[in-house]
Amino acid sequence: MTSIVLEQAVATADEMRRADAAAIAAGTPGEALMDRAGRAAASAIAAFTGPDHVLVLCGPGNNGGDGYVIARELAERGWPVTVGQLAPPSSREAVAAAAACPAPVEPLASVQPAPVLVDALFGTGMKRKLKPQVAGRLADLMGAANARIAIDLPSGVGTDDGALLGASLPFDMTIALAALKPAHLLYPAAGLCGRIVTADIGIPVETRCWRITKPRLSAPTFADHKYTRGFALVVEGAMPGAAMLAARGAQAAGAGYVVVAGTGAAPGGPDSVIQRQTDELELEQLLEDGRIGAVVVGPGLGRDREASVRLDAALSGPGCPLVLDADALVLLGASAIPVARRLHGRAAVLTPHEGEFVRLFGAQTGSRVDRARKAAATAQAVVVLKGPDTIVAAPDGRAAISGSPSFWLSTAGTGDVLSGVIAAMLARGLEPFEAACAGVWLHGEAARLAGPLINADALVPALNRTLADTACSN
Ligand SMILES: NC(=O)C1=CN([C@@H]2O[C@H](COP(=O)(O)OP(=O)(O)OC[C@H]3O[C@@H](n4cnc5c(N)ncnc54)[C@H](O)[C@@H]3O)[C@@H](O)[C@H]2O)[C@@H](O)CC1
Ligand SMILES: [K+]
C-alpha cells in the first residue's frame, strides 16, 4: 500500500472559530454546540473519576460556558458540585448555560478545594498571560485535588504555539473539544495536558494539520523482491558510523536493498548492508542507477571540500527523492544559492533539528508549525523540524505533529537513524510528506518500545519490531 491516513485533525483557534461559525450558520445554535461540548466532557469526566465532589472553575467566555453545562450534567447525576467563578459569564451562550446550572456558585478567590478539579477558565480565547493571582489560585486548587481535568485546554497556554501564559501544573486529563489544538502536542504546553481525549461535538473542522498516528504499511507479498521493497543509497562522508546508522535505519524500516557509497574508510556494519567504495566519479556513476528509490546525504558527511563535492553529486544525480540531514543542511545553509534552486524541483525531505533549522532558514517568528510550513514553502521540500514535538510540513501547506514522544531519543545518532527510516519509506513508494510522517511515527514508536535508550544502536532492533507489528496489524 502506498498511502497513509492522517485522521486526527489539529485546529488552530481561528480554525475552531470558523468551524463553530459555519455550524451556527448552517443552523445549529451556539447553545446547542455548548450543550454538546459540556455533555460530552461530563461523560468523559464520569468515566475518568467516578462520583466524587467536583469543583468546576468557570471563566467569562464560552470555555466557562462549557463549565456550567458540565456542572449541571454532573449535578443531575447526583454528584456534589460547586462552581468557582472567576467573572460572570459574558457571551449569550455562557449566560444561558449559567442560568440553567443548579450548582452553587462561589467566587474563585474564596471557593474551597474539592477532590475533582475541572478547569473551564479559558480555552481557545486565551489572549494574554493569566494574572498572577488567578494563576496562583488555580495552582493552589489543583494542588489540593486528586484528579485535575482541563476543558479543551489547560488554562494559561497559547492555543496555537503551546507557550505557557501562566499555567504551571500538569493536568491528569485534557478533554479537547471537536478537535485537537496545536497546544495539545507542542511543548511546553503538551507537557501539562496529561491524557488527552477528544470529544466529538458533531461539527466538521477544516484544517491542514494532523497528529501523526500509526501509518498503514503493507507487509511484503509474493510479488515483492528486494527492489520493489525499496533501494536506499546512503552517501558516506568523513564519519562513516553516522552513514551506517542511517543505512541500518533504512534496513530495519524495511528497505529491500541498502547500499552505502563509501569513501574508502574501513568497512564496518552488517554484511547485509552493501558497501561500495566510491571516488567522485564512481559516486556519480552509482547515483545513475535508476532502481534507487531514495538517497540519504548528510549524516557524517563532513563540511569540507570533499563533502561539498559528494553533496553536489547527490543533488545533481537522477530524480529519485533525497533525504538531506545534518552536514548536508549545514552546507546548504552556508551556500549563497537558495535551497529550492539547488533542488531543481527534485522531491526532498529536509530533517533539521532546531539549530540546523535556524542556520538554514533564519530565526522566523510564529509557532513551530508556522515556521516549518514557511520553511517548506521556501525550500519547496518537505521539512521535518525535529524536537520533542517533531513537525512535518509540506510546500503545499500540509503539516503534521508527532504525539507522545520519547525523550530518550535525545541522544547522538538517533537523527541519522531517522533519515534512513524516511529513506526506506520513500523507497517503498510513499510521497515525501507521507514518507516523513510514517518515518517519524516508526522512529518514535521504536523509541517507546526500546524504553530507556542508551544509544542509537539500540533503536535499530526496536525499529524492526515496530515495523513488523505495524505491517502485520494493518
Ligand atoms: N460555539 C462556540 O464558540 C463553542 C465554543 N466552545 C468553547 O469555547 C471556548 C472558546 O470560547 P471563547 O472564545 O469565549 O474564549 P475563552 O472562553 O477561552 O475566553 C475568552 C474570554 O476570556 C477573556 N480573556 C482571554 N485571556 C484572558 C486572560 N489572560 N485573563 C482574563 N481574561 C482573559 C477574553 O477577553 C474573553 O472574555 C473553547 O475553548 C471551548 O471551550 C465550545 O463550547 C463549543 C462551542
Ligand atoms: K480550560
Does position 343 have pLDDT exceeding 70, yes or no? yes
DSSP letters, 272-299, are TSEEEE--HHHHHHHHT-TT--EEEE-T
The mean pLDDT of 169-198, rounded to a whole number, is 97
Residue 4: per-residue pLDDT? 64
Q: Is the CB of 34 under 6 A from ligand 1?
A: yes
Tens digits of per-residue pLDDT, 86-133? 999 999 999 999 999 999 999 999 999 999 999 999 999 998 999 999
| CA–CA gap between residue 426 and residue 422 (Å, rounded) | 6
| CA–CA gap between residue 75 and residue 236 (Å, rounded) | 66
Confidence of residue 138 (pLDDT cuts 50, 70, 90): very high
Q: Which atom of ligand 1 is nearest to the CA of 165?
A: 29
Give the residue whose CA is nearest to atom 33 of ligand 1.
126
Assign residue 166 a region (left: φ > 0; alpha: ψ between -120 and 50; beta: otherwise): left
| CA–CA gap between residue 34 and residue 21 (Å, rounded) | 13
| CA–CA gap between residue 463 and residue 448 (Å, rounded) | 10
At residue 62, what are phi and psi to the nearest 5 degrees?
-70, -25
User: Residue 174: nearest ligand to its CA?
Assistant: 2
Residue of 216 and 352 predicted with greater confidence: 352
Tens digits of per-residue pLDDT, 241-284? 999 999 999 999 999 999 999 887 766 788 888 898 999 999 99
Q: What angle do CA 242, 248, 253 make, to 5 degrees?
A: 130
Q: Which atom of ligand 1 is nearest to the CA of 59?
A: 17
Written as nine digits, the cell of 410 is: 535525545
The mean pLDDT of 217-244, rounded to a whole number, is 91
Tens digits of per-residue pLDDT, 328-338? 999 999 998 99
Q: Which atom of ligand 1 is nearest to the CA of 23?
A: 1
Does position 474 have pLDDT exceeding 90, yes or no? no
Does position 3 have pLDDT exceeding 80, yes or no? no
Confidence of residue 218 (pLDDT cuts 50, 70, 90): confident
| CA–CA gap between residue 17 and residue 12 (Å, rounded) | 9
Does position 235 have pLDDT exceeding 60, yes or no? yes
Tens digits of per-residue pLDDT, 376-391? 999 999 999 999 999 9
**Which range among 63-77, 263-277, 409-423 shows the weakest confidence by mean pLDDT?**
263-277
Residue 1: per-residue pLDDT? 42
Q: Where are the alpha helices (DSSP H) in 128-279?
A: 132-143, 226-229, 240-252
| CA–CA gap between residue 148 and residue 168 (Å, rounded) | 13
Question: Coil, strand, or helix at residue 211?
Answer: strand
Q: Is the CB of 25 under 6 A from ligand 1?
A: no
Q: Which atom of ligand 1 is nearest to the CA of 21?
A: 1
Within a 13 Å sphere around the CA of 411, how many CA atoms are in the beta-carbon half?
Answer: 14
Whether the predicted interface score ipTM is above 0.90: yes
Nearest Cα residue to 403 out of 389, 386, 421, 420: 389
Q: How far is CA 219 from CA 55, 65, 216, 222, 265, in A?
A: 50, 49, 10, 10, 35
Question: Coil, strand, or helix at residue 399?
Answer: strand
CB-based contact 383:375 (threshold 8 Å): yes
Residue 2: per-residue pLDDT? 47
Confidence of residue 168 (pLDDT cuts 50, 70, 90): confident
The mean pLDDT of 16-26, rounded to a whole number, is 96
Q: Is the CB of 158 under 6 A from ligand 1?
A: no
Instruction: List the domains of the chain with CATH numbers.
Output: 13-207 (3.40.50.10260), 226-473 (3.40.1190.20)
How far, in Å, is the centroid of ligand 1 from the Cα of 126? 6
Does position 5 have pLDDT exceeding 80, yes or no? no
Which parts are annotated binding residues? 62-66, 119, 123-129, 152, 155, 242, 300, 353, 386-390, 415-416
For CA atoms 343, 345, 346, 351, the dihedral sign is positive
When the pLDDT of each residue in the chain is averaged and rounded to a whole number, the result is 94
In the chain, the percentage of residues whose pLDDT exceeds 70 is 98
